[in-house]
Amino acid sequence: IGDGAPTGNYGYTNSGYSVYEEENERLTESLRTKVSAIKSLSIEIGTEVKNQNKMLSEMDNDFDSTGGLLGATMGRLRTLSRGSQTKLLCYMMLFAFFVFFVIYWIIKLR
């Protein structure tokens, strides 16, 4: 090299080179820590997403079964309303009115 600098450090003085190297190592370690934190956070987010998807799937199945039950009930009510069973329909309406009145009365007493 010929400038009078030692051949092992490529022309850098010992103090300047080690300061940059230490700074680089410190920044590298900081970056490594941040990447590790982001990795663990993304794994936790993935786990939470899987759990939420499972819960949504279960809720979808529950809503489908409830919808089927409600559809069957509505079909029965249509059958009752079409037939000559108006007396039975009137009794059902009076019963529903009575139940709602009792519930209202109980809530009112509290």
Helix (H, G, I), strand (E, B) or coil at 39: helix
What's the residue count for the chain? Answer: 110
Name the pTM for this structure. 0.47
**Eight-class DSSP state of 64:** H
Q: Per mean pLDDT, which range of 15-29, 51-65, 77-91 is the poorest?
A: 77-91
Nearest to 21 by CA among 33, 31, 9: 9
Domain segments of the chain as ranges:
14-84
Angstrom distances, CA of residue 23 to CA of 11, 20, 27, 31, 110: 19, 5, 6, 12, 71
Nearest to 92 by CA among 73, 69, 65: 73
Residues 40-76: tens digit of each pLDDT: 999 999 999 999 999 999 999 888 888 888 888 888 8
